Structure 1
Amino acid sequence: MTVDFQGYRYVPGPFQYSAGVSALPGFTIERARFTNPVPLADGFKRIETYLQAESLPLTAFCACELRSPAPFTDAGFIAFNREYCGTLERWGIFANDKNPVARSNVCPEIDKPAGPSFHAFSYVRPARGAAPSFVIAGSGEAREGTGPYKDKTVRHGETTPDAMLEKARFVLEVMQARMQAVGAAWADTTGVQVYTVYDVHPFLGAEIVARGAARHGLTWHFCRPPVIGLDYEMDCRSVVVERVLPG
């Protein structure tokens, strides 16, 4: 099930993000990446200025990729998400715990930012006859639902090669299900990203490449997922226009 918003539709998720977004007919999604992480508050200001300069409403903001200094505890993650959603609420995007914005939030293992920061963001703009475009939110190896992450995590606390394979398979299936919800598949992607500090080579060919999930290559970020105990995360997208902005 998807819900229409302003220029895009989204797959409902938990309050902190949607599971993915896709442009409605007559619109396209574009992506902008900062050369260096921009602290959260400054990043929101820069995004607001950018959208205004592009003559786009703040509600055009539809996805983002964040960087945090270290994985959160369960309680810390909830507190951070409430702070993050506060700006979206002021922008007229987030209301009644419904959040249309897709998101990834990961933690670099090396060269960590001082605090939560923006790495990239996506937005929707009018574009007649544009090809379909989408951004699928990041997901780690935790099943959806309430309760502590440790109780929802595939092979919690295990990082052996066979455990990582099982985690990767789970996340790949989540990505496929989220793409299916917006009428897309691996063949439609223009970018796929993986986030882990553990070796992906043992299953890269058989599980990722063989599915068509690396048709344009695979971007591996040496990062951890945002919650303590998670070890593997992915996201993916299909966008025609990508920009690089000064950090």
Structure 2
Amino acid sequence: MQALPERGYGYAPGVFQYSCGVVALPGFRLERARFRVPVPLAEGFARIKAHLEGLGLPLTAFCACELRSPAPFSEAGFAAFNKIYAGTLQEWGVFLGETNPVARSNVCPEVAPPGEPGFFAFTYARPDAAAGASFVVAGNGEAREGGATYEESIVARGDTSPAGLSLKCAHVMGEMERRMGVLGVNYAQATAVNLYTVFDPHPILAGEVLGRGAPALGIEWHYCRPPIVGLDWEMDCRGIPVELVI
């Protein structure tokens, strides 16, 4: 975990478009704000900026976000979108050279999708001397790290049978737990565990999801697809004590 004391959070290194997760440092808490309905990217950035400035926080307090897109991207389309998204963060001074410390999920609602990519929610760090641990683990689909393309890296590509979903789930949960380990947190500190898929998770839900994670907390199932064509199963989690709807 890389600490950013001047921002109030630390991050688990990831890829160009996002970090693997963020955690509040001592003396700070993470706070999440959700838009009542998703807003387009440019409008969302403007509203996030106004919200942070209204709280007296610097733009570099912005540390995680949740996006909604109309449909899964091709790999080239995803790369192009990420350059647009990252451009504003670079203007805000959020990037550390070529490193993006901001965690992210980006999923595609199957029903009533937005007309263009935009923000669903965002998270930021703010001072709180009495705060306990708070964190966000970035969204993660069933593609193995290190492949030249997403297509060649997808676990059980095209197999949405219970057996295929089991393989996908095991990979995704393993990576989610690895990220929590880097951040120094665990399921017991989570306030939400999210699943994004359009395929029926019930055959594996009890044993392979709840039995492995936080059964008392349960799981939030969002009827969405991951952001890349070919991916079928994505998860993330967070532990945040204060959440707003704006």
TM-score when normalising by structure 1: 0.97
Shift of 1:97: 2.2
AA at the equivalent of 1:103: R
Contact 1:186 / 1:211 at 8 angstroms: preserved in 2? Answer: no
Alpha-carbon displacement from aligned partner over 1:58-107 (angstroms, at most 9, x marks no partner): 00000000000010011111110011000000110014320000000000
Which secondary structure does the structure 2 equivalent of 1:111 belong to?
A: coil
Structure 1 counterpart of 2:145:
144
Residue 38 of structure 1: aligned partner = 39
Letter in 2 for 1:197: V
210-219 or 11-20, larger mean C-alpha shift: 210-219
Question: What secondary structure sits across from 2:188 in the alignment?
Answer: helix
Aligned to 2:131: 130
> Is it true that 1:219 corresponds to 2:220 in the alignment?
yes
**How far apart, in 2, do the equivalents of 1:144 and 1:102 lie?**
17
Q: CA deviation at 1:146?
A: 4.1
* SS, match of residue 202 in structure 1: helix
1:16-95 alignment, distance < 5 Å: 16-95=17-96
2:177 is equivalent to residue 176 of structure 1: yes
Q: Which amino acid is 1:20 matched to?
A: G
Displacement after TM superposition at 1:214 (Å): 4.1
Find the aligned partners of 1:32 and 1:216 in 2 and give their Cα distance. Answer: 21
Give the TM-score, by structure 2 length. Answer: 0.97
SS where residue 106 of structure 2 aligns? Answer: strand
Separation in 1, partners of 2:122, 2:131: 20
Whether 2:116 is the aligned partner of 1:115: answer: yes
> RMSD between aligned alpha carbons?
0.9
Q: Deviations over 1:208-239 (max 9, x none)?
A: 11123343221110000000000000000001
Structure 2 match to 1:189: 190
SS of structure 1 residue aligned to 2:123? strand
Cα deviation, 1:178-216, whole Å, max 9, x if unaligned, reads 001111111111111100000110111001111233432
* Counterpart-to-counterpart distance in 2, 1:143 and 1:223: 20
Distance of 1:215 and 1:43 partners within structure 2? 34
Q: Residues 85 and 214 (structure 1 numbering): CA distance in 2 closer, same or farther, change over 3 Å? A: farther
Q: Secondary structure of the equivalent of 1:159?
A: coil
- How many Å separate the matches in 2 of 1:63 and 1:145? 23
Amino acid at match of 1:88: L
1:159 corresponding residue in structure 2: 160
| Partner-residue secondary structure (3-state), 2:87 | helix
CA distance in 1, matches of 2:215, 2:77: 33
Is 1:104 aligned to residue 105 of structure 2?
yes
**Displacement after TM superposition at 1:129 (Å):** 2.4
1:4 aligns with 2:38: no
Report Cα offsets for 1:125-167 as digits up to 9, x if no partner.
0110210110000000001124111111101122111101110
Count, aligned residues: 244
5+ unaligned residues in a row in structure 1: which ranges? none
Identity across aligned pairs (percent)?
55
Tell me the SS of whatever aligns to 1:15: coil
- Following superposition, the deviation at residue 112 of structure 1 comes to 0.6
| In 2, Cα distance between equivalents of 1:213 and 1:226 | 26
